[in-house]
Structure 1
């Protein structure tokens, strides 16, 4: 029976996301194939890594499609994206950790398309009054993707149960890590500091009265 390339790639990401310098022999063992078979499928380490990266981006693009991130309420769209992206969080972890991937123009172009779609989701959410406006849509996009990657690492290392992954991601990102008071009139928190610092009319603080 022919070896399924995507199955081999998924085995590879399970190894490489934990051990980026793993030898091809280790990857072949994880995939249940010989080193010779691995070499027939992928002529070298660089080719294998690039193919894993392309698989990761294709899966993330598919998650964006499944979640219909361009449609409707941004909060609901983000929750759909959480459910769609978490099953492939290990691939996102690989993408986040393998910087050499982005030397490839084809992969880099595909990444730019997907991150732009995520950016547009957060920008729409800000316009709808769903997401905080003192945090840029670009930063929210990067933070979300990195949290998905973090879920991938945590599940792989046994620090997070797979069944809790989507809930943990949605609650942390949408709710924030800090508990906020329910009442108004409380002292200003550090969460609002960036907006104050970015105020062009604000005069510099000095130590003198």
Structure 2
């Protein structure tokens, strides 16, 4: 049975999300291929993590095209962004916790376009009065990534139902933790 590179990446991201320190043998076994097959696609952990980052970047670029963060109200755009990030959340969660395996200078550079688009959404929301102006838009972008990642972890760990992904993130981003 032939497994596509994309399917291997998604399965590896899912498994590594549960077992981030797994060996290549454990990853191969978990995704249902031989170590040789895994190695043929990804010659080591760094190659695998780099490919996972490339997949996440590609998917986030598509998310931003689909979401159109510059259209409609900033709050509505944030709702669309959160919802569209659900499929890429496991990969983002893994990358968020495993960046030590990647070249940080290169990582920051390749994410700049995506980070800038999300930061621009928060800046727009601050200008229109929808979002708090006392928190920097750059920090709100980091908080967004953190919430998407931690929500994916909470769902994977069984502490949160998958159906609550969007609501928990958007409610916390838009309403904070204060009791209304």
Please give the TM-score of this superposition, normalised by the length of structure 2: 0.93
- 1:148-163 map, 5 Å: 148-163=148-163
Residue of structure 1 in register with 2:167 after alignment:
167
- 2-side partners of 1:67 and 1:101: how far apart? 30
- 1-side partners of 2:102 and 2:134: how far apart? 29
Residue of structure 2 in register with 1:109 after alignment:
109
Distance change (3 Å), C-alpha of 1:102 and 1:116: farther
Relative contact order (C-alpha < 8 Å, sep 6+): which is higher?
A: 2
Deviation at 1:104, TM superposition (A): 5.6
Aligned length: 180
Deviation at 1:101, TM superposition (A): 4.9
Tell me if the contact between 1:53 and 1:94 (Cα under 8 Å) persists in the aligned partners: no
Where 1:80 maps in the other structure, the secondary structure is helix
- 1-side partners of 2:6 and 2:137: how far apart? 33
Deviation at 1:113, TM superposition (A): 1.2
- 1-side partners of 2:165 and 2:176: how far apart? 16
- 2-side partners of 1:52 and 1:125: how far apart? 31
Distance change (3 Å), C-alpha of 1:114 and 1:102: farther
Residue of structure 2 in register with 1:131 after alignment:
131
Q: Which runs of 5+ in 1 are unaligned?
A: 181-209
Deviation at 1:162, TM superposition (A): 0.9
Tell me if the contact between 2:46 and 2:102 (Cα under 8 Å) persists in the aligned partners: no
Which protein is bigger by CA-based radius of gyration?
Answer: 1
Please give the TM-score of this superposition, normalised by the length of structure 1: 0.80
Where 2:120 maps in the other structure, the secondary structure is helix
Tell me if the contact between 1:86 and 1:151 (Cα under 8 Å) persists in the aligned partners: no
The Cα RMSD (Å) is 1.6
Tell me if the contact between 1:90 and 1:152 (Cα under 8 Å) persists in the aligned partners: yes
- 1:81-96 map, 5 Å: 81-96=81-96
